[in-house]
Structure 1
Amino acid sequence: MEGLFGKLRNLDAYPKINEDFYSRTLSGGIITIVSSIVMFLLFISELRLYLHAVTETKLIVDTSRGETLRINFDVTFPALSCSMLSLDAMDISGEEHLDVRHDIIKKRLDSHGNIIESRQDGIGSPKIEKPLQRHGGRLEHNETYCGSCYGAEVSDEDCCNSCEEVREAYRKKGWGLSDPEIIDQCKREGFLQRIKDEDGEGCNIYGFLEVKKVAGNFHFAPGKSFQQSNMHVHDLLPFQKESFNISHKINRLSFGEYFPGAINPLDGVQWVQHAPYGMYQYFIKVVPTVYTDIRGRTIQSNQFSVTEHFRSDDIGRLQYLPGVFFFYDLSPIKVTFTEGHVSFLHFLTNVCAIVGGVFTVSGILDSFIYHGQRAIKKKIEIGKFS
């Protein structure tokens, strides 16, 4: 039996060193403490990675069709009043949204940026008190008011009961409203006086647009827009101004819903106009993005990159429409972010790698220091360093 055990001992691939041959050193103790601390810190770091979600990123071809694109914006114009400012959107499919008012809020600002008034619509109109009828008489008894559109009626039944409705009828005809004072509704509502009262004010406009998921643009510009000879123009005559200051600050601009880690490069961007005329343009490349969190909830959104350009009219007249234009195009590549946890087996493998790696490096370092000390000690003993 003892012979069998002896043969087994000869097969031991892990021979042991007798404790009598152990030599404990100060340097070895220091290295042991330091390596233990390093292993502990690396273990904590790996544990945090295991407990927290990691995000996997992929690029795929965007094959989605028939979707809409939501544009969220919050822009401040410190030198352009709300009565002047209008919002238009159009795309390459030919769809147009002129003088957008739904889902839009305007805030009048004084010269210091303080809010004067917040309203959802444009200039608005006061309550009608015995207004002028189309036939020239005043509204009496229980008659239904029907104001003249001043030549812009499509049919005899059309009515324009406010200055805004007259301007809208003119816009549909492709006409500009040169003198609002000759329009009874505008005169009654004090249209020009309201513009004069708001002179020197600023405007904060915010809200969102729902547009087709195709390339297009939206822009903020003074005056009501209309089509004339297949051209997009704005009626600037009622404001009787020689120049328009389109200095602006983009408080927020995003395409789609917010998702964790989203960065919108135009948030907080500010630009000040120094030239008397011109338009400011942003060229945006929108990248569709899908974010799936650890619970499986999916957010369909977008990221974007942007370049900027200012077109100045140095010749001293309005060559370009003054305003801030956002031209956007869609990338054919979609980015997907997927949250997930590291598997326990992967965590365990990393922990073993940390322990083994630190232990090996510490052993090599300890051996180098120990043998170096012994070599120096021997040389001292034979008198080479005496």
Structure 2
Amino acid sequence: MDAFANRVKTFDAFPKVDSQHTVRSDRGGFSTILTVFLTLVIIWIEIGGFLGGYVDHQFIVDDQIRTNLLINIDMLVAMPCDFIHTNVVDITDDRFLAGETLNFEGTRFFLPEMFKINNENTEYETPDLDHVMQENLRAEFSIEGQRMNQGAPACHIFGSIPVNQVSGEFHITAKGFGYRDRQSAAPQNLNFSHVISEFSFGTFYPLIDNPLDFTGKVTEENYQAYKYYAKVVPTTYEKLGIVIDTNQYSLTEQHKVIKPKKTGNPQSPPGIFFKYDFEPIKLLIAERRIPFIQFVAKLGTICGGLMILAGYLFKLYEKLLRLLFGRKFTERDTEKKTGGLLDNEKTDIRKDY
């Protein structure tokens, strides 16, 4: 057994120092305690990170063919429902009379608290994984195509519109402006001030925030046009086997007052226009965990590297003390183990006397 141990020692990449050649000191003991403490802290952090996993964000090519989806809307327009016309047009020249599925409820116009009014929606963050998992409550509007109290001064428009998943536009205009209609709203009755509580694509998750949620615009101009340009990206969230498919979008805005012609009619239709386009990529947000073998190797590498770094730092510290205060100061309060060659010679000399 001893012969085998001696052979194994020849393969030791980090040969050990014999005890008789080591020196004990308060500084060395403190550095050892500090190194062990930092090592335990790092081990604790790494174990927590391994158990908690990490959130992986990846952009991949969207290989799923989707033919249609829903546009979910909940907004308030400062104009009577009788004067409002809604329509959806896409690049395939398909037209959807959004008024057949949307609900129009007459009410009064007001600005809710905590809404962003007349602000450009330039700052928006992707909802994180935990927030989406906590708020992934699906919902559907219980009614569609209802008309209620249409003579009120403002109109509450809400519902879902089934559309083709291609580039398109959703228009909210006044009757007689942009589309032929039996009725025509008087110019002095036009007011496209609005607040948006919900504007999303795909499955309706009312608790997940979107760039246009809780925003609004207020104007005193009759011939006002608000244009929103949305770039829609399919997004998939994965955690603990739960998969949520939704859509998020980036947004740019353009607002302008349309000048009237000599005849008094506007040069282009005023209104609220939502233009949307779909990106060919998908954002995948998933909780991952590294393999256990990789975790053990990573932990061993970190701990070994920390030990080596602590040794080099301690040697550097000792050399700096020796340069600044001298050899006597660094060797003060040190304890050297007996048993070395010189110790044996001193003992033999003392015995001779």
The two structures share one fold, judged by TM-score above 0.5: yes
Contact 1:105 1:207 in 2 (8 A): no
Structure 1 residues 122 and 370: CA distance shift in structure 2, 3 A = same
Structure 1 residues 119 and 359: CA distance shift in structure 2, 3 A = same
Structure 1 residues 99 and 345: CA distance shift in structure 2, 3 A = closer
> Which residue does 2:247 correspond to in 1?
302
> Which residue does 2:23 correspond to in 1?
23
2:163 maps to a residue whose letter is V
1:360 and 2:308 are equivalent in the alignment? yes
TM alignment of 1:249-260, pairs within 5 A: 249-257=195-203
Deviation at 1:53, TM superposition (A): 4.0
Q: Deviations over 1:33-78 (max 9, x none)?
A: 443443333333322322224344443433443521111222233x
In 2, Cα distance between the equivalents of 1:119 and 1:288?
A: 26
1:17 maps to a residue whose letter is V
Deviation at 1:327, TM superposition (A): 0.8
Q: Deviations over 1:224-268 (max 9, x none)?
A: 88xxxxx7345663x434252212222222212378x97632223
**Structure 1: 5+ residue runs without aligned partners?**
125-193, 226-230, 382-386
Q: Number of residues paired by the alignment? A: 295
1:106 and 2:101 are equivalent in the alignment? no
Contact 1:262 1:303 in 2 (8 A): no
> Which residue does 1:180 correspond to in 2?
none
Of 96, 99, 121 in structure 1, the residue corresponding to residue 146 of structure 2 is: 121
1:359 maps to a residue whose letter is M
In 1, Cα distance between the equivalents of 2:233 and 2:20?
A: 70
> Which residue does 2:121 correspond to in 1?
none
In 1, Cα distance between the equivalents of 2:265 and 2:288?
A: 59
> Which residue does 1:247 correspond to in 2?
193
Shifted more, 208-217 versus 327-336: the winner is: 327-336
Contact 2:228 2:273 in 1 (8 A): yes
Deviation at 1:107, TM superposition (A): 5.9
Structure 1 residues 112 and 55: CA distance shift in structure 2, 3 A = closer
Deviation at 1:310, TM superposition (A): 1.6
In 2, Cα distance between the equivalents of 1:5 and 1:340?
A: 44
Shifted more, 207-216 versus 332-341: the winner is: 332-341
> Which residue does 2:280 correspond to in 1?
332
Shifted more, 85-94 versus 34-43: the winner is: 34-43
In 1, Cα distance between the equivalents of 2:193 and 2:68?
A: 30
Of 215, 234, 240 in structure 1, the residue corresponding to residue 167 of structure 2 is: 215
In 2, Cα distance between the equivalents of 1:335 and 1:85?
A: 36
Deviation at 1:371, TM superposition (A): 2.5
In 1, Cα distance between the equivalents of 2:144 and 2:155?
A: 11
Structure 1 residues 45 and 15: CA distance shift in structure 2, 3 A = closer
TM alignment of 1:176-325, pairs within 5 A: 195=151, 198-199=152-153, 202-223=154-175, 232-233=179-180, 237=184, 239-257=185-203, 264-295=210-241, 297-315=242-260, 317-325=265-273
In 2, Cα distance between the equivalents of 1:379 and 1:367?
A: 14
In 2, Cα distance between the equivalents of 1:240 and 1:9?
A: 98
**Structure 2: 5+ residue runs without aligned partners?**
114-142, 330-353
In 2, Cα distance between the equivalents of 1:5 and 1:336?
A: 55
1:205 maps to a residue whose letter is I
Contact 2:102 2:157 in 1 (8 A): no
In 1, Cα distance between the equivalents of 2:327 and 2:293?
A: 51
> Which residue does 2:139 correspond to in 1?
none
In 1, Cα distance between the equivalents of 2:27 and 2:68?
A: 69
Deviation at 1:211, TM superposition (A): 0.8
Structure 1 residues 335 and 6: CA distance shift in structure 2, 3 A = closer
In 1, Cα distance between the equivalents of 2:32 and 2:73?
A: 59
Structure 1 residues 16 and 380: CA distance shift in structure 2, 3 A = closer
Secondary structure at the counterpart of residue 267 of structure 1: coil
Secondary structure at the counterpart of residue 59 of structure 1: strand
Secondary structure at the counterpart of residue 248 of structure 2: strand
CA-atom RMSD in angstroms = 3.7
Secondary structure at the counterpart of residue 42 of structure 2: helix
Identity %: 26
Secondary structure at the counterpart of residue 305 of structure 2: helix
Deviation at 1:338, TM superposition (A): 4.0
Deviation at 1:304, TM superposition (A): 1.5
| TM-score (norm. length: structure 1) | 0.64
Contact 1:283 1:306 in 2 (8 A): yes
Structure 1 residues 359 and 324: CA distance shift in structure 2, 3 A = same
Secondary structure at the counterpart of residue 232 of structure 1: coil
> Which residue does 1:346 correspond to in 2?
294
> Which residue does 2:84 correspond to in 1?
85
> Which residue does 2:41 correspond to in 1?
41
